[in-house]
Amino acid sequence: MIKKILLIFVLFIFNVYANEKFEEGIDFELMTDRPSEYQQKKSDKINVVEAFWYGCPHCYVFDDYLIKWKKEIDDDVSIVSMPVVFNKPWLLHARAFYTIHELDNSSELHKNFFYAYHEQARTFPSKESIINFLVSQGENAENVSNIFSSEKVSKKVQEANYMLETYKIDSVPAIIINDKYKISGRMAKSYERMIEISKHIIDLERQKRAN
């Protein structure tokens, strides 16, 4: 239901913004003037990071846009999601994300977790509620519990926390490209536009690499 409500506002976006010119400081933020590793040819990938929280309704809707975009990206682009941790409930959901990431059916579980939160009002306030959900999806309870409490997951959550501070993320969803450009929801103004701005920045990085 929430997707249907939010999608009403973006049905016309593609035609409106298809030929739009995007500007630094208005549509995206340049976090540093330093050349990216991709631009310096130290890396062959343009790294796109989506900062999100499972409880964010806009992140829930944007996830469909992200899935579609991932199917269209070129080989020189990598897109990953990063859970943001602003408080203890968000910490639990970050651990849930990295636990899911370790499981075989991670893409489907990630989508189903989002769905359960927003369409079934399951807010997952505890480790037990998260494990119970994953067990209902066919996962082994002991395996899931061990992964959830593992040092590997703890380290990934710590890394995500560090990136949160480095990128100065204060809202979600947000897009970070090559540790250099940031697009917030406030700047993008729509889900489709966030993708289009990202594509614009990717083209900028390619041009700078070629020069």
* 8 Å CB contact between 92 and 127: yes
The DSSP code for 55 is T
Report pLDDT for 21. Answer: 85
Where are the extended beta strands (E) located within 77-200? 77-83, 174-177, 181-184
Question: What tokens does 176 get?
Answer: 């970070």
Report pLDDT for 3. Answer: 62
Question: What tokens does 202 get?
Answer: 């990717």
Per-residue pLDDT of the chain (211 residues; tens, 9 = 90+): 666 555 554 444 444 445 578 999 999 999 999 999 999 999 999 999 999 999 999 999 999 999 999 999 999 999 999 999 999 889 999 999 999 999 999 999 999 999 999 999 999 999 999 999 999 999 999 999 999 999 999 999 999 999 989 999 999 999 999 999 999 999 999 999 999 999 999 999 999 999 8
Q: 3-class SS at 185?
A: helix
173, amino acid identity: P
Report pLDDT for 19. Answer: 58
Report pLDDT for 13. Answer: 47
Report pLDDT for 172. Answer: 97
**Residue length, the chain?**
211
Give tens-digit pLDDT for 42-65.
999 999 999 999 999 999 999 999
Question: What tokens does 21 get?
Answer: 């010119």
